Amino acid sequence: MIIYVNGCSHSKHDDNLNNGSAGFYLSKYFNLKNFSTWNIFQWIQPTSFEKKLQEVCDEKDNFVLNVSNDGKSNDAIYFESVDNILRLIKKGCKPNLVTIQWSGPSRRLVMSIDMENHSKLDTLNETNMDMFITNCNPNDHSDLLPHLEPLGSIQTLFFIYSMQEFLKKHNINYTFHCYMELLDDIKNHYVFKMLDLSKFVTFNDGDYFYNGWLNKMKNIPTAIIDEFGHPSVLGKQYISHRILRKLQDLYNIEYEDYDKKFFNVI
């Protein structure tokens, strides 16, 4: 089995973090090798990223690839996922499952002339030294103007729909979940009616996907580690549990309930 995961810091982990993200727990559940690109910035380190991708594909059909990273915007998640999945298909490693955590609608991909961050990166042999591509949001690089509403939620809606159609075209099973909330008004948009709502993983059965996970997680102190709602070990385990339950419902993938396996209960 091959699983591809993308999202922001709420889904990120490094290669050595044994209490890592939902992607990590999926790798443990399905007994797959786990890979993460947490320390590679794909947009400005394409050479390093390609090497990592080749390392992953050497595992053939026995891995989880998690490319989630800090502050990632929904346009970056969409563009990267299309690019990465096409590369994996070309290398004979078409994913069996894609699970994407959509990020905050205010975030957007930008290119800055500020190069100070390059000193932190191993870019000696990279090809994109002439630009610094990053994501801006109300907390980081806000001078580069993050999205305002309703534009942020509307664009996210189109990215979700486009990702859905891309995965359907390539006959790839998938789940989505929105960690940050979108505007309720998107339910009145004509594109909303074209979404397959059965593919969304929510905090509780019956929740609306556009209400997100963040506020629900913040109501449970043991589920988060900070004021920004980043999930704790228990929170990550619960997200994994909900994804596995969804996989069971959608694709008949056998799953024993998490409190009888290796997950803890929030």
- pLDDT value at residue 142: 73
Q: 144: burial class by Cβ within 10 Å (0-12, 13-18, 19+)?
A: middle
Nearest to 13 by CA among 259, 255, 237, 199: 237
More confident residue, 54 or 256: 54
List, in order, residues 6 or more apart from 119 with CB less than 8 Å away: none
Tokens coding 132:
């610094």
Q: Using 50, 70 and 90 to split pLDDT, how confident is the model at 15?
A: low
- Give residue-wise pLDDT tens across range 209-257: 999 999 999 999 889 999 999 998 888 888 988 999 999 999 988 887 6
- Give residue-wise pLDDT tens across range 190-215: 999 999 999 999 999 989 999 999 99
In the chain, the amino acid numbered 128 is N
- Give residue-wise pLDDT tens across range 20-31: 677 888 888 888
- pLDDT value at residue 30: 87
The CB-based long-range contact list for 225-233 (8 Å cut-off, 24+ gap) reads 229/10, 229/179, 230/9, 230/10, 231/10, 233/19, 233/264
Pairing outcome for strands 2-6 and 132-136: unpaired
More confident residue, 69 or 46: 69
Tokens coding 24:
């990590």
Distance (Å, whole) CA 206 – CA 131: 44
Map tokens 């890592």 to a residue. Answer: 20
- Give residue-wise pLDDT tens across range 120-177: 544 555 555 455 677 887 777 777 778 889 999 999 999 999 999 999 999 999 999 9
- Give the residue ranges of DSSP H helices in 8-141: 22-29, 46-57, 74-90
Give the CATH fold of the 2-260 domain.
Rossmann fold (3.40.50)
H/E segment holding residue 221: none
Is 206:129 a contact under the CB 8 Å cutoff?
Answer: no
- pLDDT value at residue 254: 82
Nearest to 140 by CA among 72, 74, 50, 198: 72
- pLDDT value at residue 137: 78
- Give residue-wise pLDDT tens across range 70-123: 889 999 999 999 999 999 999 999 999 999 999 999 999 887 665 555 545 445
